[in-house]
Amino acid sequence: MKKWIGLALLVLVVVGVVNSSKFLAHQSSRRFQQQITVVQQSKASTANVASMYVNTLKVSREKLLAHIRALNYRRYTEAERDRTRSYLIKSLKQLGWKPELQTFEGGVNIFAQRQGTDAKAGSILVGAHYDTVSVSPGADDNATGVAVVLEIARLLGSRPTPRTLQLALFDREELGLLGSRAFVADEKHLENLQGAIVMDMVGFACHQVGCQKYPQGLPVVPPSDQGDFLAVVGDMEHATLLDAFQPSGQDSLPLVLTLPVPLKGMLMPDTLRSDHAPFWYRGVGAVLLTDTANLRTPHYHQPSDTPANLDKSFFTASAQLVVNATTKLLSARSPQVRG
């Protein structure tokens, strides 16, 4: 996972825009002030519309951690990734899904879907990459994202919703988003797709003052001086997806830092370094959920990225946040979020 190096450069890009075009800078600043929000989950939340989705589907901490333990090995070589695919396929089949394999040069994606009740409502995709770098077992990067996808498969697999639920487990993200690029290159995967939720590292938190790093001049007030929030990055053109992660009145959920990116990241190329980016290229709204990687964790791309170094409570709460947002999006019929 490389993209959170990009967050550190976000402000530099914005400054470049200011210098190159006063008008564009004014408009971008205005949109950021209007649409960048930093919110804390609390009982005082005014997002009443989200309350109908809360307390309906509860994630299982035990099942999430069981997946993390089962994937506690390096997933880099072909043999290691083949072992991982066997586990993922078996897990999905046990939950009643019918996974399909998408082979591309150098890798294999896994895809499955559960039809919605309204053929005109389109579909929502939830995805994560399952490969690792060569030196790390990747508990946070990205067994956490994979575990949440499997938990969504369990909770929503037999739950009727207007929109179709699609699941994608991408291969070879660490080599340049190869799996997600291959996925969106197949037009049939994009038919009626109304948005994608991509997770890349959602299980590490730090609670010491100053443990969370921020770039100088960040154009938003940080939600915390600690690394106890979840960042949600989306393209500004598809605010409906970002809105799904607004407060829902649960104190147990993590803080949320919401960052809308204008012009599908064209002016901010370093915000395009995970599997959400290929969807942006194809005009599909997508959000990235992350714990900010190397801006927070010392275990990024290290042998120490193990289950023991995850924050289990933060991870479970992050999974619940994703389940809530996914349920909300699947239950919607309009407006569409593809542009």
Q: Summarize pLDDT for 65-97 with one digit per residue, the tens.
A: 999 999 999 999 999 999 999 999 999 999 999
- Average confidence (pLDDT) over 266-274: 80
Going by pLDDT thresholds of 50, 70 and 90, the confidence category of residue 299 is very high
CB burial class (10 A; 0-12, 13-18, 19+) of residue 131? Answer: buried
Residue 302 pLDDT exceeds 50:
yes
> Domain coordinates of the chain in residue numbers?
3-330
The answer on pLDDT for 20 being more than 70 is no
Mean pLDDT of the chain: 84
pLDDT band at residue 250, thresholds of 50, 70 and 90? confident
The CATH superfamily assigned to 3-330 is Zn peptidases (3.40.630.10)
Q: State the average pLDDT over residues 105-119.
A: 97
Q: In what order do the strands lie in the sheet with 37-39?
A: 37-39, 255-261, 229-235, 286-290, 193-199, 123-129, 164-170, 107-114, 100-104
One DSSP character per residue, 176-203 reads TSHHHHHHHHSGGGGTTEEEEEEES---
Tokens linked to 193: 């797709």
Predicted structure pTM score: 0.85
Q: How long is the chain? A: 339
pLDDT at 214: 80
User: Is the pLDDT assigned to residue 267 strictly greater than 90?
Assistant: no
Taking only the tens place, the pLDDT of each residue in 150-197 is 999 999 999 999 999 999 999 999 999 999 999 999 999 999 999 999
Q: Which of 12-16, 39-43, 56-60, 138-142 has the highest mean pLDDT?
A: 138-142
pLDDT of 224 reads 84
